[in-house]
Amino acid sequence: MNSHDDRQPIQRSTAIAMHVRDENLKRKAAFLSLSLLALAIVAGCSLPERSRTLGDPNVPARTLALQVCSNCHGVQGVSVSPNFPHLAAQSEPYIVEQLKAFRKPGRSDPAGYEYMWGISARLTDDQINGLAAYFSSQKPAPGKAGDPTLIKDGQDIFEHGIAASNTPACSGCHGAKGEGIQQFPRLAGQHADYVIKQLMVFQNTEQRPEGAMMKGVTHALTPANMKSIAAYLEYMPTAQ
């Protein structure tokens, strides 16, 4: 009886010691795992191809497109919010022109300077050219159904203009399918809300000096005309 009782304290002490040892090992393993994770994060962030750093000329344009531009315009240049234009399949010269206009900064429409001045200001020419090449090579945004009456009216203006007000056809500069021609942007599939907003900027302000010719084009457009044009452009089937 006494022998059994004498062994109990020893067994309890041994069990406690083993438990403490196990807990210490677990803590060391957890600490080691966290340390390795921290090192991996630091190492990853230090690599240019995984960096979101603006102003670093060593960061490739594709990396900026995927890690910075995609936050608003989508990974493939198809944005979810109509506040931000689709860039997929956009005219490459147009993208270059706009990024340089933001960088000057010459384009001062509110949405433009709020979102783009800080980003574009630190881009190099090579990065701008690379971003334009990346987004212009993406698959265009699909057309979106809308009000048939608005779409029909918008198509008529797009293809023929408005003779009564000497408004030229949009297709003359932007292509028969809205695909864009050199410095004239792609319009097919663009968000209707975004199109209306930009037409109003051209018509009523001087905030987009690189698009000065659009002031004459839009001066006679009514809100109804703009709505129709925008509906047709958003609907337009994809065109490369």
Q: What is the pLDDT of residues 142-201, one digit of tens each?
A: 999 999 999 999 999 999 999 999 999 999 999 999 999 999 999 999 999 999 999 999
Domain contains 163: yes
pLDDT of residue 31: 45
Answer whether residue 9 is part of any domain: yes
For 36, half-sphere exposure in the C-beta direction (CA atoms, 13 angstrom radius) is 6
Same domain? For 215 and 167 the reply is yes
If asked whether residues 226 and 152 sit together in one domain, one would say yes
The CATH code of the domain that includes 131 is 1.10.760.10
- Tell me whether residue 26 is in a domain: yes
Q: Tell me if residue 60 falls in helix, strand or coil.
A: coil
CA-CA distance, 239 to 31, in Å (whole number)?
56
**DSSP symbols for 179-193:** --BTTBPP-TT--HH
| Stretch (H or E) spanning 42 | helix 2-46
Same structural domain, 166 and 224: yes
181 - beta bridge partners? 184
Residues 123 and 74 in one domain: yes
Q: Do 78 and 131 share a structural domain?
A: yes
In a domain, 53, yes or no: no
pLDDT mean over 59-67: 97
Q: For the whole model, what pTM was predicted? A: 0.78
| Domain limit, last residue, from 79, 106, 136 | 136
Q: Are residues 99 and 24 in the same domain?
A: no
Q: What is the average pLDDT score of the chain?
A: 85
Number of domains present in the structure of the chain: 3
126 and 176 share one domain: no
Distances, alpha carbon 234 to alpha carbons 74, 100, 188, 192, in Å: 17, 26, 6, 5
Lowest mean pLDDT across 29-33, 63-67, 117-121, 181-185: 29-33
Same domain, 187 and 231: yes
User: Which of 103, 136, 169 is the last residue in one of the domains?
Assistant: 136
142 located within any domain: no
Q: Are residues 213 and 175 in the same domain?
A: yes
> Residue 111 — very low, low, confident or very high, per pLDDT cuts 50/70/90?
confident
Structural domain contains residue 18: yes
Residues 71 and 97 in one domain: yes
Q: 23: pLDDT confidence band, cut at 50, 70 and 90?
A: low
- 33 with 111, same domain? no
Name the domain boundary from 104, 136, 168. 136
Which domain does 7 fall in, by range?
A: 2-46
Q: Tell whether 21 is covered by a domain.
A: yes
152 and 123 in one domain? no
In a domain, 51, yes or no: no
Average pLDDT on 67-82 reads: 97
pLDDT given at position 55: 79
How far are the Cα atoms of 2, 15, 48, 131, 140 from residue 9, in angstroms, in the given order? 12, 10, 61, 73, 77
Q: Which of 236, 227, 231, 194 is nearest to 81 (CA)?
A: 194
